[in-house]
């Protein structure tokens, strides 16, 4: 698997699937979630409401992942995951590992060959960017070892220079 980090806006990236750092409601929020909904258009919120009605009536659990189409995005798919919220006492790194590995499971089920991730939980959810970066890189590498050639390319797309630096260090 080809694994890279770049500074940029994940809504503009041409990959098969981008991952959204959503919240359990799936009904939109700030940060990268707000940017993805704005760029994908209103059909994304309608698809998320449909998932809430059918698949995840109580909301998406922390560490789990589900997919919708990308609608107006360059990416064909959005994989929504819910990171652990440090301000709510969700400090177990396994929850963050699960965000990355479950998202890749969903990507593989979709036959997505290229996936872009943001720094899940490194914004409003309050995790240290270096902890997120180390956890993300280790999780993706071990998923790739367990699922060889299932996904060709993972790009970490980081909005902030400091978070990008953290991912460069982790790689």
The CA distances from residue 63 to 15, 81, 102, 137, in Å, are: 22, 7, 7, 16
Residue placing its CB nearer to ligand ADP in the complex, 9 or 105? 9
Based on the residue annotation, tell me whether 33 is a catalytic residue of this protein. Answer: yes
What dihedral angle (degrees, nearest 10) is formed by the CA atoms of 117, 144, 64, 28?
Answer: 10
Q: Which of 33, 92, 130, 145 is catalytic?
A: 33
Using CB under 6 A as the binding rule, whether residue 124 contacts ligand ADP is answered as yes
Going by C-beta distance under 8 Å and a sequence separation of 6 or more, which residues neighbour residue 142? 101
* Kind and range of the H or E run holding 155: strand 153-158
Using CB under 6 A as the binding rule, whether residue 84 contacts ligand ADP is answered as no
Using CB under 6 A as the binding rule, whether residue 128 contacts ligand ADP is answered as no
Single residue of 118, 133, 156, 170 touching ligand ADP by CB under 6 A:
118
Single residue of 79, 96, 106, 122 touching ligand ADP by CB under 6 A:
122
Distance, in Å, from the CA atom of 142 to the CA atom of 165, rounded to the nearest integer, reads 22
Which residue is listed with tokens 């698949």?
A: 55
Q: Site mask, ligand ADP, residues 37-76, x = CB under 6 A?
A: ----------------------------------------
Distance, in Å, from the CA atom of 112 to the CA atom of 154, rounded to the nearest integer, reads 11
Tell me the β-bridge partners of 21: 81
Single residue of 75, 139, 151, 163 touching ligand ADP by CB under 6 A:
163
Binding site for ligand ADP (CB under 6 A): 9-11, 21, 31-33, 35, 83, 118-125, 157, 159-160, 163
């Amino acid at each position: 698997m080809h694994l890279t980090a770049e500074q940029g806006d994940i809504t503009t990236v041409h990959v098969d699937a981008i991952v959204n750092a959503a919240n359990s409601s799936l009904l939109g929020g700030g940060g990268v979630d707000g940017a993805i909904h704005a760029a994908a258009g209103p059909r994304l919120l309608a698809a998320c409401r449909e998932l809430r009605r059918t698949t995840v009536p109580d909301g998406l659990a922390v560490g789990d992942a589900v997919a919708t189409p990308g609608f107006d995005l360059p990416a064909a798919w959005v994989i929504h995951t819910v990171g652990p919220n440090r301000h709510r006492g969700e400090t177990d790194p396994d929850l963050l590992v699960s965000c990355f590995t479950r998202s890749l499971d969903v990507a593989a089920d979709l036959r997505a060959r290229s996936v872009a991730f943001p720094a899940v939980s490194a914004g409003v959810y309050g995790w240290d960017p270096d902890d997120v970066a180390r956890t993300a890189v280790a999780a993706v590498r071990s998923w790739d070892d367990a699922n060889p050639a299932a996904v060709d390319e993972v790009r970490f797309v980081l909005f902030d220079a400091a978070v990008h630096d953290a991912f460069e260090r982790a790689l």
